[in-house]
A and B are shown apart, each in its own frame.
Chain A
């Protein structure tokens, strides 16, 4: 039991990331409220960022900025995951902006943000 708990604590970031990814994914898939769908998308992406950032962090090392003339790479954490997270955030922000604009447009046409209702109404519209 103790060994299991210790393992769980040492893997806390990974476990949290997987749980959050599941929550985000299922809500993005099944949630009817479009605004909550956007939140779910952000939860899903953030979980990936948490996962990446936790993998790049090494206990007891510094941020990779040269300080006091220390140029030895073994003193610093891995900067590449941070770079990936940064790029991922940019992507996720632009997708969220597009998504929000789209929901706004939908609301103007259908007067609701309920996904199922919109799909039912759209079916009846003639093309």
Chain B
């Protein structure tokens, strides 16, 4: 008899799926929104509890779906790290929905509002499944679910510009999933398995036997590039700014903060649980990820500097932040991956805060988006102003905030000597300065006195207030009390 908490991962995925299916039956958008927030909070609570239990017992487990044993059945693998990540993701998603509620109600036509929450539930389900699954083909299916749902929440705000952005997003995503699928097919043909533990033993054998260096490199490269395209790794970012910048506030927050991370987590799990990190290191995939990561860190910020549209600026900044994660993976050490996981959490909290605050600031100026026309908005809604300022300072890397802690871990991990250390530390320093070069002017702009008088919306937004306070608490807590989080990440990584 297995302990009752072994069922939590499956129950969470199932809850999201069933919740998503019932959304069109809800009375109106308002009730669907409440139900979705309730589902997200329930998942956050369950996964948080699970993370606590697994951390206390130093345990990870495999859950067999339908009790079919290994080579035939489908499995979930859960350790403390996965449980913690999903708990944070679910909480952030609930806050993103709450914080963007008012803008959402204006952006999306009332009869279509219910369907939007179906997509939100599907995104959460696929994030959970990508973090938990032990079967790479199940992973592929959930990648596609996540892609379709993400495209749908971009085009929920039905303007000509967002639809054009959606088609671009869809096409590039499909290229990525095509590469992933052929990589998967090749891997299956080489090894004859789809479950991660069985794949791991076969790949070990092949790598020891030699002669399979080229097929393994091709497979690993295809999987990495496929996931890289979907998570906007440096040269494949062209779709991101329009899609994330044009969508409604909740969508932008969820897409930038969470959806991109699901793919990266799945990729790291493939690296650890299918190829094992020592084999991946011998395949020189890491070097490519390292170079792409550094290029993304620098060029993402440079492009953000040239942007006047506040949400597109934040979207370009996401490219830079994703660059950090790939740089951490590319370092190829456990410390680098730990830093990458910390950055995943840190960005998942900070970027939604920035998007929600920016959304609120533009809401009180009747949806103006250009930084020039948003001058002085922080004086009208101080909470949104403080939220944006705190998020921006965290991105720059001011101590006590989570962005600084993440950069500190990256710098610490980079001390491996050689060319990589200098490249990584130099890139960290330059990119921090670049971040400051566009966040500081934006922060000054929103707090300075406007040049002309604007008619402003003065109604309070309680949903946003709750979300902003929770996310700000997250930013400060991750920055000041990173120790326990770091211990969970290290423990989870050692079990992977």
Chain A residues in contact with chain B, CB under 8 A?
A: 21, 24-25, 28-29, 34, 37, 41, 44-45, 48, 51-52, 55, 80-81, 84, 87-88, 91, 94-95, 98-99, 102-103, 105-106, 109-110, 115, 118-119, 121-122, 125, 127
Contact = CB atoms under 8 A, between A and B. Distances in A.
B151 interface: yes
Contacts of B144: 91, 94-95
Interface of B: 137, 140-141, 144, 147-148, 151-152, 155, 159-161, 163-168, 170-171, 174-175, 178-179, 181-182, 185, 188-189, 194, 242, 245-246, 309, 369
Given A44-B178, A94-B148, A125-B160, A52 B185 contact: yes
Nearest to B312: A127
Contacts of B163: 102, 105-106, 109
B189 A110 contact: no
B182 A51 contact: yes
Nearest to A90: B141
B161 A45 contact: no
A110 B171 CA distance: 18
Contacts of B137: 84, 87
15 contacts: A29-B175, A41-B178, A87-B137, A95-B144, A95-B147, A99-B174, A102-B155, A102-B170, A103-B167, A105-B155, A106-B163, A109-B163, A119-B164, A122-B161, A127-B309
Given A29-B175, A127-B369, A48 B185 contact: yes
B166 A110 contact: no
Contacts of A94: 144, 148
Contacts of A109: 160, 163
Contacts of A88: 181
A28 B229 CA distance: 14
Contacts of B152: 98
B159 A127 contact: yes
A48 B141 contact: no
A28 B174 contact: yes
A110 B160 contact: yes
A127 B315 CA distance: 15
Given A28-B175, A28-B178, A29-B175, A99 B170 contact: yes
Nearest to A49: B185
A121 B161 CA distance: 9
A79 to B, nearest CB: 11
A95 B188 contact: no
Contacts of A110: 160, 164
Nearest to B179: A25
Nearest to A108: B163
B369 A122 contact: no
A44 B245 CA distance: 30
B167 A34 contact: yes
Contact of B151 (A28, A81, A98): A98
Given A125-B160, A125-B161, A102 B182 contact: no
A29 B369 CA distance: 31
Contacts of A48: 178, 181-182, 185
A52 B185 CA distance: 6
Nearest to A31: B171
Contacts of A24: 178
Nearest to A120: B164
Contacts of B167: 34, 102-103, 106, 115, 118
Contact of A95 (B160, B166, B174, B189): B174
Nearest to A103: B167
Contacts of B141: 87, 91
A55 B245 CA distance: 43
A116 to B, nearest CB: 11
A41 B246 CA distance: 26
A85 to B, nearest CB: 10
Nearest to A47: B182
B188 A52 contact: yes
B168 A119 contact: yes
A48 B181 CA distance: 7
Nearest to B71: A80
Contacts of B194: 80
B175 A122 contact: no
Nearest to B181: A48
Contacts of B175: 25, 28-29
Contacts of A21: 178, 182
Nearest to A119: B164
A51 B189 CA distance: 10
B68 to A, nearest CB: 13
B282 to A, nearest CB: 26
A125 B246 CA distance: 12
Contact of B171 (A37, A52, A81, A84): A37
B361 to A, nearest CB: 15
B164 A81 contact: no
B174 A41 contact: yes
Nearest to A102: B167
Given A52-B188, A81-B188, A118 B164 contact: yes
Contacts of A118: 164, 167
B64 to A, nearest CB: 18
Give the interface centre of B155, B164, B170 by most chain A CB atoms within 10 Å. Answer: B164
B171 A122 contact: no
A8 B164 CA distance: 43
Given A52-B185, A94-B148, A103-B167, A25 B178 contact: yes
Nearest to A34: B167
Nearest to B172: A29
Given A41-B174, A109-B160, 7 more contacts: A45-B181, A48-B182, A52-B185, A88-B181, A98-B152, A105-B155, A127-B309
Counting from the closest, the 8 A-B pairs by CB-CB distance are A122-B164, A91-B144, A109-B160, A125-B161, A55-B189, A44-B178, A52-B185, A48-B181
